[in-house]
Amino acid sequence: MLTRIEIDGFKSFRGFALDIQPFLVIIGKNAAGKSNLFDAIQFLSRLAGDGVLEAAQHMRGDVVDLFHRHTDGSSVDVMTFAAEVLLDGWVTDAFGDTAEVNHSRLRYELTIQLRPSGQSGSKRPFVVREVVRRIRRTDDRWIQRFSSSQRKRLVAYRSGADPLETEEDEQGRPVFSIRQQGNQGRKRKLPATAATATVLSSLTTATDFPLLYALKREMQSWRLLHLDPSALRAPDSYDDPDSLAANGGHLANTLRRLADETGNDDRPEGVLNDLSADLAAVIPGIIRVQLAEDDARRQRQVEVLTREEAPFSARVASDGTLRAIALLAALYDPRGAGLICFEEPENGIFPQRLAQFVRYLRNLVDAALDADVERTSLTQLILSSHSPAILRALEPANTQLRADAVFMDVVSRVARGEPRSRVSRWRSIAGAQQLTIDDAIDIGKVVSPREIAEFEVLAELGT
């Protein structure tokens, strides 16, 4: 679980820092930086397994476009990230080896520099600093918001040295210093003078560096669901993958696996029944989601059963219906546990049913937190939207500031010795309780009710 992210020098971010709850809604106008935030999360996720250039190829724009650009056209040449995470209790590698994660709170810091390379003088990105630190119990403010029983189930702390540092060797050259767990603190050192990939991306087994490998797997689990209607409608071959792709592909096989893994004699379709009930509650007329199996062609297709019509296939289902099925499938899937980023959940959902849909999504996230299982895999959901409808769909917050939603916009930044920039920022949204005098004074960090009202009006007018 990603609990905090800090970004500086990436796209529209300078000095950006945000604590992230298990369920979080980010609202704001178009071009406020919501998609850039998802891009930063996806970039970090890619860097855990790929080289910097390879990771950048999956982003929008060229690698130089990822570095923050000032209003005069110049750009910075350094970007930094920090991510604080909550790890599961165990991690398994591709070879089947499983290792215990005895300390579940880590802080990951990364610096990437764009600098000339080779005779041509063209600039390439290099990893110049990578650090992983243990978050100690006494310093862990994020976990304090949970109940004592939740903290006991979710978190484990163990004293010890930090797993990864960037240091200098005897000749003054930078090196990445990796500390092996359970080996008297012996360090493995890698040169850091021209690193084109992260240390995390080089790890392949869980046994030597369990904490680092668990961090790698956690970051790789961060997903952006950017659902493509054509991928959602496509039938699956029996031999296709059975996990939901980022574009929504393999939905039919994913639902078949979920039904098989969770079904029993009393409920042959398992959680597919629960998913159908959720969908029926938010999309009028729908009774059930089912699968059509074509053994002759070895294909399966998603079907939707309604009260008044025969079952119809995903080929003719609405985009909103398919998006809702895919998002629910991702949240119900234990294999897909981790961070899910999803844009504009309100698309295709009746406005009067949106609050119920959001409530179901939040309940699925909260269920893992409340499960009586120690340090189990957790699902986290971040929704982004430029529509005020999603904010109205949230339950009222009986606090001064909402913990489940923030507002993003763009402001001018003027720093000594630097050109002017346009940067993304986030602000808190007021809850039901009256703000204190200190909060009122620091109003720059809180969205006023008037701004929310203006945002709602502009959204209704389509401006």
For 319-343, how does the pLDDT look when each residue is reduced to its tens digit (9 = 90+)?
Answer: 999 999 999 999 998 876 789 999 9
CA 38 to chain centre: 7
Question: Which two structure tokens, joined as six digits, stand for 222?
Answer: 């961060």
Mean pLDDT, residues 9-33 taken together: 94
What pLDDT is recorded for position 285? 86
Terminal CA-to-CA distance of the chain, rounded, Å? 35
Q: Which of 194, 143, 128, 139 is nearest to 162 (CA)?
A: 139
d(CA 394, CA 414): 35
Burial of 450 (0-12, 13-18, 19+ CB in 10 A): exposed
Residue 457 has pLDDT above 60, yes or no: yes
Q: Per-residue pLDDT tens for 382-397? A: 999 988 888 888 888 7
Kindly give, in sequence order, each residue whose CB lies less than 8 Å from that of residue 460, ignoring residues fewer than 6 positions away.
none
Tell which wins on pLDDT, 435 or 188: 188
Find the mean pLDDT for residues 400-408.
90
pLDDT reported for residue 438: 52
Q: Among positive and negative, which fits the CA dihedral 257, 262, 267, 268?
A: positive
Q: How far, in Å, are 186, 210, 222 from residue 216 at the CA level? A: 21, 10, 11
How many percent of the chain have pLDDT more than 70?
Answer: 92
pLDDT at 182 over 60: no
- CA separation, residue 87 to residues 3, 256, 304, 307, 338 (Å): 10, 29, 37, 44, 10
Residue 229 corresponds to which tokens in the numbers above?
A: 């209607």
Residue with tokens 């939905």: 251
Q: Is residue 241 scored above 50 in pLDDT? A: yes
* Distance from C-alpha of 175 to C-alpha of 386, rounded to nearest angstrom: 44
Per-residue pLDDT averaged across 190-199, rounded?
94
393 CB-near residues (< 8 Å, 6+ apart): 346, 354, 355, 357, 358
Digit-coded pLDDT (tens) for 339-354: 999 999 988 888 888 8
400 versus 327: which is more confidently predicted?
327
**What is residue 440's predicted lDDT score, i.e. its pLDDT?**
47
pTM confidence score: 0.92
* Nearest alpha-carbon partner for 112 in 68, 149, 178, 69: 68
Looking at residues 219-228, what average pLDDT do you find?
93
Task: State how far the Cα of 31 lies from the Cα of 37, in Å rounded to an integer.
Answer: 11
**pLDDT over threshold 50, residue 69:** yes
Residue type, 22: P
In the numeric block, which tokens belong to residue 189? 């050192």
330 φ/ψ angles, rounded to the nearest 5 degrees: -65, -40
What tokens appear for 248 in the block?
Answer: 């929504």
Could you report the per-residue pLDDT of 108-140, keeping only the tens digit for each?
A: 999 999 998 776 678 899 999 999 999 999 999
Instruction: Give the Cα separation of 182 and 116 in Å (integer).
Output: 40
What pLDDT score was predicted for residue 389?
85
Taken in order 68, 73, 76, 77, the sign of the CA dihedral is: positive
Quick one: pLDDT at residue 442? 53
Most confident of 10-14, 71-75, 412-416: 10-14
